[in-house]
């Protein structure tokens, strides 16, 4: 009898003999082979929309490090582009979306889910090919941005790090009823997007709420908790055996409400979340936690990295646990540091 993949066992609530490990942004700019592939594709937009190149980039960290999970290589704003905005990548600025969505009339004028799957077809083909190309013991993770996070791109017209998000916050907080249709459209689109990824072979999926920390409590509940709870419920109804990871980065004390109301199989932890709380509150209910090494320690490497990795392993392996970062790998990360981290985690027997 073939044993189920290690990562899937942990995500489904099993305390495994060692924690599985994968890393957010594990395929990307810190790897020299990534830059070769991106140049061959002709740029970021072409890379994301070329299954040949996207498959290659997804496989690169698996070949190098023997990670337990491979996350589909795509980019969060591709869903916004599939709904009708024009996506471009400006050197030094990251993704831009035009025209920006700034009012209810813009939603009706510029956005439609009518061609959603047609526009996202290259991503689905990448998933199908990865099911064949990945090693048999590696779990394929699909993903999408959560509705609030995708909306930040769509309204601001640029990537999160390049803006203070004043435009979207003023709209969402001052006129929530006119903003609601955008979240509703995104919620249904994310359900359809992840459902199709699962149909094509994704074995688990993650929802990235990268900008959860922008919202005060009542709006956090409306724009972060309620849409993700709806997405989780819909996907669980269709695919009850496919684990879902929800990652509300920078939610702070609102993690408590998020955990209570979002029925995800695994909760991703940012670097600020105390592991003792997560072990008691999340693992204590038989749910998996994922995280939460500070990415800058991965850049630093050496004794500091080893010591913090050991602390996390000791604190989190009493229940179902997936080792990961508290955010994505920085582009300045030496690949050797990633190799050392993976070796330490995979050698752990707690």
| Phi/psi of residue 241, nearest 5 degrees | -95, 0
SS3 321: strand
What phi and psi values does residue 88 have, to the nearest 5 degrees?
Answer: -140, 165
Active site (catalytic) residues: 25, 29, 38, 75, 153
Helices (H) and strands (E) in the chain — how many of each?
18, 9
Q: How far apart are CA 169 and CA 176, in angstroms?
A: 10
Tokens of 64: 């190098």
Q: How far is CA 36 from the centre of its chain?
A: 24
In Å, how far from its chain's centre is CA 294?
A: 16
CB 162 within 8 A of CB 93: yes
Alpha carbons 349 and 177: distance in angstroms, whole number: 52
Tell whether the torsion through CA atoms of 10, 304, 269 and 22 is positive or negative.
Answer: negative
Chain-centroid distance, C-alpha 234: 18
Alpha helical stretches, state H, 301-334: 302-316
Q: Which of 278, 328, 322, 272 is nearest to 298 (CA)?
A: 328
> What residue ranges in 119-225 does DSSP mark as E strands?
139-145, 204-209
Which residue in this structure is represented by tokens 């190799």? Answer: 339
Q: Which two tokens stand for residue 74?
A: 């795509």
């Amino acid at each position: 009898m073939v044993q189920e993949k290690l990562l899937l066992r942990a995500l489904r609530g099993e305390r495994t003999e060692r924690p599985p490990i994968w890393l957010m942004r594990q395929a990307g700019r810190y790897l020299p082979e990534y830059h070769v592939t991106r140049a061959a594709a002709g740029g970021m937009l072409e890379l994301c929309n070329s299954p040949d190149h996207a498959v290659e980039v997804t496989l690169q960290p698996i070949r190098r490090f023997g990670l337990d999970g491979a996350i589909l290589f795509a980019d969060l704003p591709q869903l916004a582009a599939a709904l009708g905005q024009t996506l471009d990548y400006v050197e030094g600025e990251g993704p831009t979306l035009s025209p920006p969505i700034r009012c209810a009339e813009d939603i009706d004028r510029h956005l439609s889910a009518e061609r959603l799957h047609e526009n996202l077809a290259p991503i689905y083909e990448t998933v199908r090919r990865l099911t064949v190309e990945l090693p048999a013991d590696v779990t394929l993770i699909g993903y999408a941005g959560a509705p609030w996070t995708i909306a930040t791109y769509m309204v601001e017209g640029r990537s999160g790090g390049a803006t203070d998000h004043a435009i979207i916050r003023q709209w969402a907080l001052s006129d929530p009823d006119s903003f609601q249709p955008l979240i509703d459209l995104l919620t249904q689109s994310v359900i359809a997007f992840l459902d199709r990824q699962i149909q094509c072979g994704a074995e688990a999926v993650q929802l990235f709420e990268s900008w959860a920390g922008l919202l005060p409590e009542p709006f956090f509940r409306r724009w972060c908790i309620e849409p993700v709870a709806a997405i989780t419920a819909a996907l669980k109804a269709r695919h009850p055996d496919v684990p879902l990871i929800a990652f509300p980065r920078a939610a702070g004390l609102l993690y408590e409400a998020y955990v209570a109301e979002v029925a995800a199989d695994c909760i991703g932890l940012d670097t600020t979340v105390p592991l003792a709380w997560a072990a008691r509150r999340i693992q204590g209910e038989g749910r998996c936690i994922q995280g939460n090494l500070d990415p800058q320690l991965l850049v630093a490497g050496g004794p500091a990295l080893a010591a913090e990795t050991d602390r996390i392993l000791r604190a989190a392996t009493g229940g179902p646990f997936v080792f990961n970062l508290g955010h994505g790998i920085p582009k300045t990360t030496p690949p050797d540091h990633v190799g050392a981290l993976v070796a330490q985690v995979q050698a752990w027997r707690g």
